Structure 1
Amino acid sequence: MKTLTNQTLLYDDACPLCSVYTSGFIKTGMLDAGGRKPYAQLTDDEIIYVDVQRAANEIALIDRQNKTVLYGIDSLLKVIGNSFPFVARVGNFKPIYYLLAKLYSFISYNRKVIIPNKKSDAALHCMPDFKYSYRIAYIVFATLFIAIILFNYSILIGTLPHGNFGRELALATGQIIFQGLLLLNRDKQTALNYFGNLITVSLVGSLLLLPMLLMSHFFEIHQLLILGWFGLTAAIMFAEHYRRIILLSLPHYLCYTWVAYRVIALALILNL
């Protein structure tokens, strides 16, 4: 790899994904040994020329020699493009650049609901701005994905009445409405933060169901295994939901209503 020297990425050290890919740049030689450092370790000198809030939203690449800064997709294209010029040329093509920038923002503005972490006591905390549009887009995208997976998995469960995509979409959407009724006394941002975490838990569950779905195309799987895997997935989801409730400092009864909704939904499905 061709090393990009005298450049430092300011990464969110509370974001596992950010830590992994910036570490990868160092290990592969795309950046030198000083090629990354936690956002929280910004120096007073760097704060003069770094847009601190923008750097929390979009990963910043500091030119240590010229004291200039690139942000977001521009910083990533420079790092990757230094080793792979073709990537930089394609990435900077306006339609592609626009899509990459939107995808980057979609992930960045939702990263704290995708992988939440405890509130930091650091003076500089890498917390992205709250963007309603990106949060709602994430919830809609995840809900559609969840409905697709649940619909296909429900076909494997012979004891369930034959359903359709609409039913699974209604169930995935219904959990947000059901839990949302318990947050009417909270502000919109708190509610949407919870909904983002709620839908991420369901998204994790859907991803856990994928291996069984894929295997079902090649093997005949016993109903006990299908049901057992679904039950194990539900247990993992409950544990993850409980963990997130603690991180968000929300009332624990949301965990019990989370279970109650699923029990009610199952009862309705079986009696349709």
Structure 2
Amino acid sequence: MKTLENQTLLYDEDCPLCNLYTTGFLKSGMLDQNGRKSYCQLSEEEQNFVDLKRAPNEIALIDNKAQTVVYGIDSLIKVVGFSFPVIEKIATRKPIHFILKKLYSFVSYNRKVIIPGNIKEENKLQCIPDFNYKYRFLFIGFAVTVTTFILFGYSNLILNFPKSTITRELILALGQIIFQSLFLLKFDSKTILNYAGNLMTVSLLGSLILSPVLILSPFIQLPQMIILGWFGVTVFIMFLEHFRRIKILKLPFYLSYTWVLYRIIALFLILNF
């Protein structure tokens, strides 16, 4: 593995996702041991040539000798491409680069709702991405779509449930956002959408946990006790994760109980109508 030397990635220390992949670059030898630095620890000299508005949105790679910076997907391509030139050649082709850039923005602008972390308020510099309505709505739409199709398949594995439809599961997924938002009307739109993003990440997590049973079901006749039990465990994990996120977001604790209430109401409607 070739090591890209005298280069430093500025990462968001409050983002578990950013910590994970930058640590991976160090351990794999793609970057030397000084190859990453927290954005919050930028020196005054570095602040003179690093775009402080752009860096929280697009991870910055500093060339320490030339004092130049590349941002976002280009910084990642440069790190990976130094060890794997073929990947760099493919990734820099216009159509592929365009797609990668959009995917990077999709993740970067939503990273605080995908994997939230506690913010260290004592830091003068905060690596918080700008609130982007377009990418937040895209993320919510993506999570709603995945959740809808997985729940549609899983619901039909439960023999005592009325037969599911895509429309029903879509209404339930969207209804959850609307129902929970009713308890946040005193907050501004950004807070509501930030919560909605976290809410749908929890739903997406639950869908991913249900997926193994859904994948196995065409090949193995699973007992109803396992299907129902796995669903119950999944809901419990989702509740714990929702509760954890509410604490991080510093939102009213009762949102976790209205989250449960919505599911009870939904189950009653499914079984009786």
Same fold (TM over 0.5): yes
- 1-structure distance, mates of 2:28, 2:243: 38
Deviation, 1:61, is 0.2
Other structure's SS at 1:156 match: coil
Residues 196-207 of structure 1 aligned to structure 2 (within 5 Å): 196-207=197-208
Letter in 1 for 2:114: I
Deviation at 1:216, TM superposition (A): 1.4
In structure 2, the partner of 1:151 is: 152
TM-score (norm 1): 0.98
- Look up the equivalent residue of 2:5 and give its one-letter code: T
- Find the counterpart in structure 1 of residue 193 from structure 2: 192
Matches within 5 A, 1:107-186: 107-121=107-121, 122-186=123-187
Residues 1-42 of structure 1: CA deviation (Å, up to 9, x unaligned): 111111000111222221121111111211112111111111
The residue type paired with residue 261 of structure 1 is: Y
Counterpart position of 1:255:
256
Q: Deviations over 1:35-83 (max 9, x none)?
A: 1111111111111100112111111000000000000001011111111
CA distance in 1, matches of 2:19, 2:120: 16
Paired with 2:28 and 2:238, the residues of 1 have a C-alpha distance of: 35
The letter of the residue matching 1:155 is: N
Structure 2: any 5+ residue segments left out of the alignment? Answer: none
What one-letter code is carried by the residue in structure 2 that aligns with 1:61? L
Distance 1:140 1:184 in 2: 21
Partner AA of 1:14 in structure 2: D
- Partner residue in 2 for 1:36: 36
1:30 partner SS: coil
Preserved CA contact (<8 Å) 2:14 2:119: no
Work out whether residues 16 and 117 of structure 2, in 8 Å CA contact, stay in contact via their aligned partners in 1.
no
Q: CA separation in 2, counterparts of 1:98 and 1:131?
A: 19
Q: CA deviation at 1:127?
A: 0.6
Give the equivalent residue in structure 2 for 1:52: 52
Tell me the CA shift for residue 218 of structure 1.
2.1
Paired with 1:24 and 1:244, the residues of 2 have a C-alpha distance of 26
Output aligned runs, 1:31-110, within 5 Å. Answer: 31-110=31-110
- Structure 1 residue 88, shift from structure 2 partner: 1.1
Q: Root-mean-square deviation (CA), in Å?
A: 0.9
Distance 1:202 1:27 in 2: 32
For 1:136 and 1:4, how far apart are their aligned partners in 2?
Answer: 37
SS of 2:69's equivalent in the other structure is strand
CA positional deviation for 1:141: 0.6
For 1:27 and 1:147, locate their aligned partners in 2 and report how far apart those are by CA, in whole Å.
38
The equivalent of 1:11 in structure 2 is 11
Q: Secondary structure at the match of 1:53?
A: coil
- Match of 1:66, SS state, is coil
Aligned counterparts of 2:261 and 2:89: Cα–Cα separation in 1 = 52
1:119 CA drift (Å): 2.5
What does the per-residue CA deviation read over 1:141-171, in whole Å, with 9 as the maximum and x for residues that have no partner?
Answer: 1000000100010011111001111111110
Moved more, 181-190 or 135-144: 181-190
Find the aligned partners of 1:234 and 1:49 in 2 and give their Cα distance: 48
- Residue type at the aligned position of 1:4: L
SS of residue matched to 1:117: coil
Q: Deviations over 1:233-257 (max 9, x none)?
A: 1011111111111111111121111
Aligned letter for 1:167? R
Q: Deviations over 1:163-208 (max 9, x none)?
A: 1111111101110011111112210000000000100111111111
State how far apart, in whole Å, the 2-side matches of 1:113 and 1:24 are.
Answer: 22
Deviates more, 1:84-93 or 1:146-155: 84-93
